[in-house]
């Protein structure tokens, strides 16, 4: 089927509002604005889509030029070469750091039992204190949001339990993600 550029752009028009969302989300997670970005490099097939280039240029502002000089395969290969040279003892290269951050916090959730506060008279027997235990849900972070990955080994102590108990490993608060990202 033959499709003209105008037909393709017409079909993609309803999706245009979503084109810049990954950039907005990345800047939000990095806690920085577009004004802090020095260079915007467009790689791969995006370099050949004029409407995408226009929208990106409007997003970053007219004072910043969009770089179309990178070939995706070459960029990956060059990045791999720099990282290998950096890790090697035989080459001296400019410092090249790659750090991964945890964007999905992980926590351990369990029920903790604690004795209730003393009664109005101020004194309770040990039997009453044991029988009146409060159960409280506790969440202990293992890997916090934006902690470095891979992380160091984690040790969690469960000192309030004297018998077997269960716990769950789950994601912590995901407030930094939009509704669409959570789906």
Compute the residue count for the chain. Answer: 183
pTM: 0.57
How far apart, in whole angstroms, are the C-alpha atoms of residue 84 and residue 19?
34
Q: What is the pLDDT of residue 2?
A: 92
Residues 28-47 have pLDDT tens digits of 888 889 888 888 888 777 67
Question: 47 lies in a domain?
Answer: yes
SS3 readout for 142-183: EECCCCEECCCCCCCCCCCCCCCCCEEEEECCCCCCCHHHHC
- Segment 159-170 mean pLDDT: 82
Instruction: Look at residues 43, 60, 87 and tell me which one is the last residue of a structural domain.
Output: 87
Residue with the bigger pLDDT between 115 and 183: it is: 183
* Claim to verify: residue 76 and residue 107 sit in the same structural domain: no
* Claim to verify: residue 117 and residue 147 sit in the same structural domain: yes
* Claim to verify: residue 80 and residue 121 sit in the same structural domain: no
* Claim to verify: residue 46 and residue 14 sit in the same structural domain: yes
Q: Where are the beta strands (DSSP E) in the chain?
A: 40-43, 66-70, 100-101, 106-115, 133-143, 148-149, 167-171
Q: Measure Cα distances from 142 to 35, 104, 105, 173 in Å.
A: 34, 11, 8, 12
* Claim to verify: residue 17 and residue 71 sit in the same structural domain: yes
Number of domains forming the structure of the chain:
2
* Claim to verify: residue 119 and residue 177 sit in the same structural domain: yes
* Claim to verify: residue 112 and residue 52 sit in the same structural domain: no
Asked whether residue 175 carries a pLDDT value surpassing 80, the answer given is: yes
Q: What is the pLDDT of residue 115?
A: 58
Q: What is the pLDDT of residue 112?
A: 79
Question: 154 lies in a domain?
Answer: yes
Asked whether residue 50 carries a pLDDT value surpassing 80, the answer given is: yes
Containing structural domain, residue 165: 101-182
Question: 38 lies in a domain?
Answer: yes
* Claim to verify: residue 54 and residue 121 sit in the same structural domain: no
* Claim to verify: residue 116 and residue 174 sit in the same structural domain: yes
Residues 62-121 have pLDDT tens digits of 888 888 777 778 888 888 888 888 888 888 877 767 778 888 889 988 887 765 555 555
Question: 159 lies in a domain?
Answer: yes
What CATH number is given to the structural domain containing 18? 3.30.420
How far apart, in whole angstroms, are the C-alpha atoms of residue 131 and residue 140?
26
DSSP bridge partners of 109: 139, 168
Mean of pLDDT over the chain = 80
Instruction: Look at residues 54, 87, 120 and tell me which one is the last residue of a structural domain.
Output: 87
Instruction: Look at residues 62, 87, 112 and tell me which one is the last residue of a structural domain.
Output: 87
How far apart, in whole angstroms, are the C-alpha atoms of residue 159 and residue 110?
12
Question: 171 lies in a domain?
Answer: yes
């Amino acid at each position: 089927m033959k499709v003209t550029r105008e037909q393709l752009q017409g079909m993609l028009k309803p999706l245009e509002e979503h084109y810049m969302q990954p950039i907005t989300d990345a800047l939000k997670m990095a806690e920085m604005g577009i004004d802090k970005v020095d260079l915007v490099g467009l790689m791969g097939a995006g370099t050949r889509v004029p409407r995408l280039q226009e929208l990106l240029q409007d997003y970053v502002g007219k004072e910043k030029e969009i770089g179309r000089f990178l070939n995706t395969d070459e960029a990956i290969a060059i990045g791999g070469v720099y990282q290998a040279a950096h890790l090697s003892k035989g080459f001296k290269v400019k410092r090249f750091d790659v750090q991964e951050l945890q964007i999905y916090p992980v926590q351990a959730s369990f029920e903790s039992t604690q004795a209730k506060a003393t009664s109005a008279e101020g004194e309770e027997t040990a039997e009453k204190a044991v029988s009146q235990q409060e159960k409280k849900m506790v969440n202990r972070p293992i890997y916090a949001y934006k902690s470095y990955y891979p992380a160091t080994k984690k040790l969690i102590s469960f000192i309030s339990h004297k018998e077997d108990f269960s716990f769950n490993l789950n994601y912590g608060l995901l407030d930094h993600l939009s509704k669409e990202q959570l789906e």
